Amino acid sequence: MSASVAHDAACIFCKIIKGEIPSFKLIETKHVYSFLDIQPTSQGHALVIPKWHGAKLHDIPDEYLHDVLPTAKKIAKALNLDADGNYNILQNNGRLAHQEVDHVHFHLIPKPDEKTGLIVGWPAKQADMDQLAKFHKELVAKLES
């Protein structure tokens, strides 16, 4: 990590990127670092992290996000998840959303069976279409401004 890159001296992921804490490194590019998770939910569970310290996705400059999905894709292919494999790509923002480390990170989690890997509950409900249309209009106006 160069001096021009934002980092936090107390952050465990920043320490891993700088080599102060050992890791099972997989792929490193100019902007991302990936390694095997030491508390995996399944074999092959990996993390892909930007080399820019930021707690939430919107804190990370775009150039530090460009390699995230291509890196996850390469790892998925190396794990043969591109054939018949099932897997999740997960990124959490904030404690209520289950973020444990305040440095943006993406999990690649192989899902070989129902009991291994990510276990998700999805409390979906039918939307009120009028309310959804109103919200859509408001959101598009913000996105276009």
Quote the longest CA-to-CA distance of the chain. Answer: 53
Catalytic residue (choose from 45, 53, 103, 105): 105
Q: Transcribe the chain into DSSP letters.
A: --TTS---TT-HHHHHHTTSS---EEEE-SSEEEEE-SS-SSTT-EEEEESS--SSGGGS-GGGTTTHHHHHHHHHHHTTTTTT--EEEE---SGGGT--SSS--EEEEE--STTSS-----------HHHHHHHHHHHHHHHH-
Strand-by-strand arrangement of the 106-110 sheet: 25-28, 32-36, 46-50, 106-110, 87-90
105 labelled catalytic: yes
List residues with catalytic annotation.
105
